[in-house]
Amino acid sequence: MAPPPERNLPTVSVTEEEVQRNSERLKIEDEIRSSHQRTFVSHEEAINIAKEINLCEDRVWDLLKKARGNSWVIALFLKQYGNIYGEMSLKLLESLNPKDLIDTGIETLADHLIHSVDLKGDFEEDTFVNYILCPRVYFEMLGAYREYFKGKFSLEEREGFKQNPKALVKWIKENIDLLQSATYYVGFASPKGSFDLRKADSFSRDILFVALARSFGIPARLEPTDKRPQYLRDSDWKDAFVSKPVEREENIPSGKIRLVRACNCNCRVKAEYFNNFSIGRFKNGIFQTLAYQDVGFEYFGKYFDLPEGYYRLVTGTRLSDGTVLVRVSLFEVKEGQNVDVDIIFREDQNNVENLGSISGLKGLTPLGKNSQGSISLNKNAIIAWIEPDREPSKHLIRELRELAEEMDKINPSVYICVGEDKLTPAFNADFYDGLPQGTIFAVDKAYTCFNSFVSAAKKELRINYPAVFVVDRNNNIRYASTGYKLGIGEEVLKLLQKLSKI
């Protein structure tokens, strides 16, 4: 896959007065943001809360840090229920998506905790936490509904559903009307809303099934590949077929596959579903991509179930110019069989481009805890200039964090540079954790170092941030990018991996 040719668009001239006015507005925005962030639960406060309720300090801080502006609500929930329900209150919070921590209230959290703990029974911990305790089914609005649902059915009815989940499927089929033409798009109605209306589209009804099942102590989920509703019975996931006639409840035969790195594949790229590989099942004349959400590669590295049929594995390697090297392979899954499928990423066979050379990193002064560190080019290095308070630069930092483990394997030098005019009161180099080992922040007074890179590069570079360069151990510039684009971190990692072999 090749992108269209790159065009150099005309630059927009900006006056010094406009630049100054924009900088002043950015400082005001930064002050407003920083003032709000200072109201979040601090690390010290999180540790004290953890000690107060006798729970793991690191886990409590991790949750409160993710909760951001909702951190005091989460803290109050832990204070009220941590001493009563112990670690289970943490497990409930950890089962949620990070976004849920930002906007979920105490009433909702308490409802799901209080009315789930007595359903633990003999279920394994992971099964209970992920498929009974967890309030999140898909992308529906979270709300309190467990106590409500229990109040709508007698104990005898709830026990009957638990003993025979097909009875719950039958109840939903008979009591919830399908309204497929009522909305233009598939909706994610709240379970309580669908129950009260007794009407839903097919997907909302599937969400309702999972919510009801979990409320009654039946492990339930939306199957990871195609989101069909399932319940756990005798250690096997059974299809509920809520949106289909009850009499057609036979399960699709399945086999197991495992993705393995091919022995002859030297590419060390990090495999991420939907980012650089996907699996599609051949159905109704086309390959339909399986919708795995928030699943790490470790899931695919173990045998996992797939319905019987023909499948397509697509991998892609994105190059710095936007070209994607695609590889397609086909495989078949048969009932009861285990299949190993090689996952291979094509490698760029072109030589690494030499964009020019520099004499060093003159003009950089270390910041923060590494202020006494030395700045030198004695090995392959990443040098990046950022605007700390701007989203494009924040995205780059996030990518470097996500790839830190892979980068540490090849151990490049990493310098994150900030122009003196970009330093704001809220900027603190010591707050940037999780980056590759040995990352050094530096201030570039008068952009002396940055200008030397722009002058040395044998390509036209627009002054835009973040600006990212890769320099080899011989001080040759091997990569240059200005302005954010998706996947800069991945491009830099692949290049460094290639340079490490030279």
Cβ–Cβ under 8 Å, residues 380 and 405? no
Tens-place pLDDT, residues 153-192 = 999 999 999 999 999 999 999 999 988 776 666 678 999 9
CA angle 32, 34, 36 (to 5 degrees): 70
**Confidence at residue 220, expressed as pLDDT on a 0 to 100 scale:** 97
Question: What integer pLDDT is reported at residue 370 of this predicted model?
Answer: 63
The architecture CATH gives domain 254-343: Sandwich (2.60)
Alpha-carbon distance of 493 to 470, in angstroms, equals 10
> 313 in helix, strand or coil?
strand
pLDDT at residue 249, rounded to an integer: 39
Q: What is the pLDDT of residue 266?
A: 54
* In the chain, % of residues over pLDDT 90: 60
Residues 6 or more apart whose Cβ sits within 8 Å of residue 103: 70
Q: Is 378 exposed, middle or buried (0-12, 13-18, 19+ CB in 10 A)?
A: exposed
Using 70 as the pLDDT threshold, list the residues of the chain that sit under it. 182-186, 242-251, 263-268, 370-373
Q: What is the per-residue pLDDT for 371?
A: 59
Task: Please choose, from the candidates 465, 469, 486, 467, the residue with its C-alpha nearest in 3D space to the C-alpha of residue 477.
Answer: 469
User: Where do the structural domains in the chain lie, given as residue ranges?
Assistant: 43-215, 254-343, 364-499
Residue 322 neighbours by CB under 8 Å, 6+ apart: 2, 3
Q: What would the CATH number be for the domain defined by 364-499?
A: 3.40.30.10
Length of the chain: 502
This prediction's pTM: 0.77
Separation between Cα atoms, residue 493 and residue 502, nearest integer Å: 15
In 10 A of CB 82, how many CB atoms? Answer: 21
User: Collapsing DSSP states into helix, strand and coil, what is residue 268?
Assistant: coil
Model pLDDT, residue 267: 56
